[in-house]
Amino acid sequence: MSETAATAAVATAATTTTPTWTMSSGSSIFFPSSESEKLASEQDYFVWSVKMKKAFSTVGLLEVVDGTTPKPTEDDKGDLALWMMKDTAAMALLFKCVSKELVVTLARCDTAHDAWMNLETELSQTGSGSIILWFRTLVRAFNHGEDLATHVTNFTTARNHLAQADFPIPEFISAAILLSTLPADPADSNSYNNFVAGIKIDKKTTTLSSTINLVLEEKRRRHNASDTSNSEVALAAMERAARASGKRFCRNCRRDNHNTANCWATGGAKAGQGPKRRKKKGKEKANVASDGGGGDETANHVVFEKSLLTREVDFSDYIDPCDESAFPTITPTPSQDIESAFSARSTDTPPIIIDSGTTSHIHSIRPDFRTFTPSSGNITGFGAGKSSILGRGTACLVAQLPKGGQSRLLLHNTCHVSGDTPQG
C-alpha cells in the first residue's frame, strides 16, 4: 500500500464512528407502571396495547417493536449496534409492563418485535381465544341478585370489542341476545318472561339502545313496586298483631284502638275533629326583647326566661372552677339579706334567675362587671316599660345555693342596664 492510500484509510477510519442512542431517564413515565395497569389477560390487551404504542412512539422505539425497522445485517455494524440498543430497551420496557406470568412467556422471544407479535397473537381481539371470551361475556345469563345495569354495560362492552375484531353484530340481533340473557322461567317470580314476550324484534326498526332503555325502565318499575310491596307487608303485619290482641287498627295513621272511619289524623274520616291538646306547663316564656335603637348597628336583641322554681335551682353548674383568677375578691353576702331580697321582689314580680337558654344575661350593678364595653340599644318586654342597654361585659355575681352556702358566678356577654331594671 502506497503512503497516500494508507493515509486515506486512516482518515476514513477516524471519521467513521459507531452510532449511539440513549433513552431519556424520564421516559419510563409514559409507560404503565402500577400493577393494575400491567397486561395480565385478554380483557386488558386492547387498552394496554394502545397505551404501549403511544409510549413507544414517544421514546422513538415503535419502529423496532412493530417491525417497521428490521434487524440490520452483520455487514452493517453501525446500524446493527444502534438497533440492538433500541431492541434491548424495548424488551426491558415490555417486561416491565406485563404480569410475571407473561414475562415467562416472553422470555423465549429473541427480539422485542417477536415478543410484541406473541402478545398480539395470544391476547388481541383478533385472536381466537379473545373472540371466544367476548362471545361468552355477550351470552352470559343474568342472575337474580346481580346489578342489571352492570350486566348491560358488560354486554355492550363485549359487543364493541367483537366489532373491533371484525365481528360486528347487527342491532336487532344484539337486542335479541340481550333479552335472551334475562331470566325466563315462568314459575320464577323474578322472571322477565312476560316482559320479553311483549317486545317485538324487528330487523329494520329494533335497536340495541332502545331495547336497553326498555330493560332498565322495567328494572326501575320492579324496584318501585318492590318498595310498595314491602310497605304493604309491614302494614299488614302491624294490623294482624293489633287484631290478635283484640284491638282495632287504623291503616291511615298506623295506630291501634281505632279505625280509619274514626281517625282524627290527616287522611282519616274525622280529620281535625279530635280534642285539642293542652300545652304542657313549665317555664313561663317572656316576650323577646327587641331594640329601639332606630337602626343602630350596636342595638341588641335579648332573650330571657322567668322561672317559677327559683329556689330549686343549683347554681353550682355555672361555676368555672378552672379560672380562680377570674373572680374578684367578694365579701360574702349574709344569707338573711339574700332571703329578704327574694321576699321583697316576690311581692312585685316573679323572681328572675340565670337560665342557660338565654342569649344574654341582664344585670344592673356596674361594679360587678369585670370587663365592660359600652353599647347602645333598648330592651322591651322585660319588666315594665323600656330600658336602655348601657353596655356589655363579663359580670361576677354571688348566688345562694339551695342547701346553704354561696357560689360565685361568672356570666359572659351580660347586658348592663339601669339600676331600677330587674336582673336575670
Q: Which amino acid is at 329?
A: T
pLDDT of amino acid 179: 94
DSSP state of 192: -
Locate the DSSP E strands across 155-312.
Answer: 249-250, 255-256, 284-285, 305-306
pLDDT of amino acid 189: 79
Q: Region 3-10: what's the mean pLDDT?
A: 46
pLDDT at 91 over 90: yes
pLDDT of amino acid 121: 82
Task: Tell the residue number behind the cell numbers 449511539, with chain if given.
Answer: 20
pLDDT of amino acid 13: 45
* Grid cell for residue 156: 355492550
pLDDT of amino acid 270: 76
pLDDT-wise least confident of 67-81, 160-174, 268-282:
268-282
pLDDT of amino acid 266: 81
Task: Tell the residue number behind the cell numbers 361594679, with chain if given.
Answer: 367
DSSP state of 331: P
415 vs 312, residue with greater confidence: 415
Q: Region 63-67: what's the mean pLDDT?
A: 93
Cα torsion angle, 87, 92, 97, 98, sign? positive
Report the residue count for the chain: 424
pLDDT-wise least confident of 262-266, 396-400, 411-415:
396-400
Where do the H-state alpha helices sit in 66-147? 77-96, 100-106, 112-123, 128-139
Angle between helices 42-58 and 128-139 (to 10 degrees): 130
pLDDT at 45 over 90: no
- Is residue 350 within 8 Å of residue 383, measured between CB atoms? no
- Is residue 216 within 8 Å of residue 148, measured between CB atoms? yes
- Is residue 262 within 8 Å of residue 268, measured between CB atoms? yes
pLDDT of amino acid 212: 93
Strands 362-363 and 249-250: unpaired
284 vs 416, residue with greater confidence: 416
Q: How far apart are CA 42 and CA 283, in angstroms?
A: 75
Local confidence band at 292 (pLDDT 50, 70, 90 cut-offs): very low
pLDDT tens string 338-383: 444 444 444 444 444 444 455 667 888 888 888 888 887 777 655 5
* Grid cell for residue 255: 295506630
Q: Region 155-181: what's the mean pLDDT?
A: 90
Local confidence band at 418 (pLDDT 50, 70, 90 cut-offs): confident
382 vs 396, residue with greater confidence: 396
Mean pLDDT, all residues of the chain: 74
pLDDT tens string 99-108: 989 999 899 9
Q: How far apart are CA 148 and CA 219, in angstroms?
A: 8
Q: Region 151-172: what's the mean pLDDT?
A: 88
Task: Tell the residue number behind the cell numbers 331580697, with chain if given.
Answer: 341
pLDDT of amino acid 209: 92
Local confidence band at 128 (pLDDT 50, 70, 90 cut-offs): low
DSSP state of 140: P
* Grid cell for residue 83: 438497533
pLDDT of amino acid 329: 45
pLDDT tens string 223-234: 877 666 566 667
pLDDT of amino acid 347: 44
Residue 186 DSSP SS3: coil
pLDDT at 320 over 60: no
pLDDT-wise least confident of 30-44, 48-62, 319-333, 353-367:
319-333
349 vs 280, residue with greater confidence: 280
